[in-house]
Structure 1
């Protein structure tokens, strides 16, 4: 089974670091014709552009804040104007702000839903419009979370955004199956990324030893790695995963519903 992305123009959000960056790198190494990288971190985005360009990838960056609904349309225009089309989309950008039923606020709700649910919807919408206008197949991969199944108490609002995106993933897959547009999602478990390190060590005050302590509690003795998510995302983008669509795949160290 060959997993390749030749002749595909791929848009990846959250591409300056973490899971999005790993997906962009894996897509480039898998032969993507061109990549449009999206992130609000302009410096990180430029660094990723240089890294991929140095290995021969055709790449462009779009520094936008996905809180702004107009940014999604701008990203789509950039992809079409620069590369002529959008063949694949990965919605990897996301916020993980903690908020429970006790301390969640309307502001946090709006912020999380804007980035984690509305922006992916608008980007999917723009990609689907381009794909259907050209009457060509396309693929969309949404990065979800195991928290979409329920979520821990301090992630109530975050979990709701991922649940919303899970429904949108299946809805789009159903609506556009006859258009040969495949839409799948990955429910990620706990991944060791730069953003997670900042959240745990600084924001939550657990210090630099948080990773070793967390890893010791996991069945594999470690957290998931961004590259593991990237491999699955590129498989779902590729023809090797056809005709799979509407699938929400748990990438986790535990089996949902299993005891203990």
Structure 2
């Protein structure tokens, strides 16, 4: 039977309104009531992840920043790992040289060197993926992301990299130029002990090689004295692949990248059609008979 469920957030648990739907909320609470360990695994920081979860009344552990940080249900950090400062500085120099915009996720918040460019890129990405939502509404939400402190402005990233109290969790790189993103990927491949993944066609996510959703989920399962073959992972993109590889029931969203669908033995509906709820209920029904 399924004893553990891990779900991605963006493009998976959250719909186009960036909300947990009522059906997804009820299905997660049903799973918890059945004694199933539920954990959210996201590329978001904990600060960005906890608001939609709190609004939905969901209290559970969270794998944050692709596994660079893990929090228990009370929000306490139980694990963290980062990129060394000198390595982060080299990565920033290389990305700046080829003209790629990026944000830096740390244990003390997320940072950008360019407020306006950050706003414009978020607006472009979200309106492209969700044409039914007005640009004005998206721009307001993007500004709120900065104004509420989810993104902090810094004049020079080196001020972060050179301070020992900062742990650099992740570089999130954005561009609609696929060739430029590939150049960034190729350049960064030369840096040892980092992992490069993606949560969309327009980004790269760079973390320590030890900071991956699959590694964090496997550790969580072991700590709970469970078996990975009895776990389910639901996701839509390449940064979800590592956790799909460690579970017995990998589930691709209906809106997932084709390569993710090809890998997974199970599929569900899209994130706008309560896909997570359908996947949970199918798993619970299948394993209870």
The two structures have a TM-score, normalised by structure 1, of 0.35
The structure with more strand, counted as a fraction of residues: 2
Considering fraction of residues, name the structure with more helix: 1
Please report the TM-score for the alignment, with normalisation by the length of structure 2: 0.32
